[in-house]
């Protein structure tokens, strides 16, 4: 075989050799086409044939032959006029379009107000603060509540993407106290307030106050509280319990507060941690006098006081929006 004949054989074998599809580099448009499911591609082809049948005959005949309604055929024709290629007939995804908004104008204005307040704060606030404010405003206006995601999306759109997110809720455990009866189980706890109190005349710092909260597990209502600059003691607990058991109307009037706070009463069980002031003889005898049972958290089971602990966290987040707040730590405080 001559050299010329050899070259012809090589060229002929190259033309017949199969092409390895894996080695072929596809363009982005080709990859998008191959990503379309075969079932959807077949639907698009059938709908395209219906539209072409209309062009050859009329809408009624094409609808009868395809077994479709004339309304469906006209809708396909409208899509074809806007976008003639076959891709226009691919099944459309159900649901709301990306980037669209479902809130009505009234609730949209409330979200904008809550976001404006959040963005205007000089203190680094968590997103839950904006959510709580939006919920408060919607309730006051008698409107439907707003989902958390709606607020976080608008914060991100406004450049508030660096906000703090709340930790995931703990899974409910069987030893966590729980009841459906109001005043069935009431929790009490103290916390230092993340705020510096200053003198009203010379503005010098006085100190950080402590607050004692009495919290009803069933209704998630605050029954009473006591704020003081002194360290927690049996007196703090007694003062907070007195407010919880008695009507608060006189106290509200003395403070010139126009608020309806009807929740009060003697609890059945007072659930406490193991702090020394909760084990005092004065507290034990005072509770026995009025038939209040004492129940203490098992050592090391901090999560059993999760109801009031979560409320105290929410309370401190709201305090973090007040000028002069210390925040929860030095890092959160920033400048």
List, for residues 240-276, the tens digit of each pLDDT value: 999 999 999 999 999 899 888 999 999 999 999 888 8
- Report helix, strand and coil shares of the chain as percent, to nearest 5: 50, 10, 40
Q: How far apart are CA 266 and CA 184, in angstroms?
A: 9
Q: How confident is the model at residue 49 (pLDDT cuts 50, 70, 90)?
A: confident
**Mean predicted lDDT score pLDDT of the chain:** 76
Phi-psi label, residue 88: left if phi above 0, alpha if psi -120 to 50, beta otherwise = alpha
Coil vs helix vs strand at 43:
helix
Top-confidence residue, 83 or 26: 83
pTM above 0.85, yes or no: no
Query: Which stretches of 98-230 are DSSP H helices?
Result: 105-120, 127-141, 148-157
Q: Are 188 and 283 in contact (CB under 8 A)?
A: no
Q: Spell out the long-range contacts of 264-267 with Cβ–Cβ below 8 A and sequence spacing 24 or more.
A: 264/223, 264/224, 265/182, 265/183, 265/223, 266/183, 266/290, 266/291, 266/292, 267/183, 267/184, 267/185, 267/186, 267/216, 267/223, 267/292
Strand partners for 271: 187, 295
Q: Per-residue pLDDT tens for 58-117? A: 777 777 777 778 887 777 777 666 655 655 666 656 555 555 556 778 888 888 888 887
């Amino acid at each position: 075989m001559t050299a010329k004949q050899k070259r012809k054989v090589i060229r002929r074998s190259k033309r017949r050799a199969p092409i390895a599809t894996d080695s072929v580099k596809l363009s982005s448009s080709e990859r998008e086409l191959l990503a379309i499911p075969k079932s959807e591609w077949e639907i698009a082809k059938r709908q395209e044939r219906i539209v072409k049948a209309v062009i050859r005959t009329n809408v009624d005949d094409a609808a009868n032959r395809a077994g479709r309604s004339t309304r469906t055929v006209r809708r396909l024709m409208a899509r074809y006029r806007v976008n003639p290629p076959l891709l226009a007939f691919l099944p459309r995804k159900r649901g709301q379009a990306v980037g669209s908004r479902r809130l009505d104008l009234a609730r949209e204005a409330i979200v904008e107000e809550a976001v404006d307040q959040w963005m205007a704060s000089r203190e680094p606030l968590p997103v839950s603060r904006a959510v709580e404010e939006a919920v408060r405003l919607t309730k006051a206006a008698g409107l439907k509540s707003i989902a958390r995601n709606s607020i976080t999306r608008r914060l991100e759109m406004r450049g508030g993407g660096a906000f703090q997110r709340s930790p995931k809720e703990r899974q409910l455990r069987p030893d966590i106290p729980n009841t459906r009866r109001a005043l069935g189980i009431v929790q009490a706890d103290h916390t230092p307030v993340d705020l510096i109190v200053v003198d009203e005349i010379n503005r010098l710092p006085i100190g950080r106050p402590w607050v004692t909260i009495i919290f009803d597990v069933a209704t998630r209502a605050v029954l009473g509280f006591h704020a003081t600059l002194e360290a927690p003691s049996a007196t703090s607990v007694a003062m907070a319990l007195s407010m919880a058991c008695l009507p608060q109307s006189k106290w509200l009037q003395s403070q010139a507060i126009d608020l309806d706070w009807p929740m009060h009463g003697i609890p059945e069980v007072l659930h406490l941690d193991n702090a020394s002031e909760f084990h005092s003889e004065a507290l034990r005898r005072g509770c026995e006098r009025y038939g209040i049972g004492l129940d203490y958290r098992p050592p090391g089971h901090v999560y059993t006081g999760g109801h009031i602990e979560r409320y105290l966290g929410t309370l401190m987040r709201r305090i973090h929006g007040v000028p002069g707040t210390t925040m929860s730590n030095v890092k959160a405080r920033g400048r």
